Each structure stands twice: as structure tokens, then as C-alpha cells.
């Protein structure tokens, strides 16, 4: 279904390979879900979460950016005003 589509699927039939069926049965046996549908939903949620997780390269780029900002702060002796915290400022942008 195209991204952004407003139509909701009420049900869907999925055919599993023998290996997929083994994985589903193993997940049910381990208590990962109470039904095949729940196991599939959890697997899809995990797959989406993994796709949204930054790569190691991206995490390293972010670490370097933070280190550069901290070095800049130290070099120019920058401080925040009384009662201000970096943590608060970071989250301030998330409000909008």
C-alpha cells in the first residue's frame, strides 16, 4: 500500500515459508506473543525501530559534532546563564 494512504486494511493473509513458520512457532513457544498476529506485529515494530536506528557511522558523526562543540566551548570559555542547562535547551527545540 502506498505510503500515506488513508485506507486501513482490516485483515490480511500472509503465507510463510517453512522457515518463517518455524520462526513463528519458536516465538510463540518462547512467549514472544500470545497469537501469531501478535508475534508478527512485534516483529514488524522491531523491524521499523531497527530501520530508524542510526548507523554506527551516523552515531560516530554525532559524537564528533558534540566533541567539536564542547571543544569550542572550552576554547572560548563559554558558559550558560545562571540556572540554564544544556539539557533544557536541547529539549526546548522539541516543543515546536
pLDDT tens-digit series, residues 32-52: 999 999 999 999 998 888 778
Q: Is the pLDDT of residue 10 over 60?
A: yes
The predicted model scores a pTM of: 0.48
Q: Where are the domains of the chain?
A: 18-52, 56-95
> Which has more pLDDT, 93 or 81?
81
Q: What is the pLDDT of residue 94?
A: 62
Helix axes 18-29, 36-52, angle to 10 degrees: 100
CA dihedral sign, ordered 60, 55, 46, 4:
positive
Amino acid at each position: 500500500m502506498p505510503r500515506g494512504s488513508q485506507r486501513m486494511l482490516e485483515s490480511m493473509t500472509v503465507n510463510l515459508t517453512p522457515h518463517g513458520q518455524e520462526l513463528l512457532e519458536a516465538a510463540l513457544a518462547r512467549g514472544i506473543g500470545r497469537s501469531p498476529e501478535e508475534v508478527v506485529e512485534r516483529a514488524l515494530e522491531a523491524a521499523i525501530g531497527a530501520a530508524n536506528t542510526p548507523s554506527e557511522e551516523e552515531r560516530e558523526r554525532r559524537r564528533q559534532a558534540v566533541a567539536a562543540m564542547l571543544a569550542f566551548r572550552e576554547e572560548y570559555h563559554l558558559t550558560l546563564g545562571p540556572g540554564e542547562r544544556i539539557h533544557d535547551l536541547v529539549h526546548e527545540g522539541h516543543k515546536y
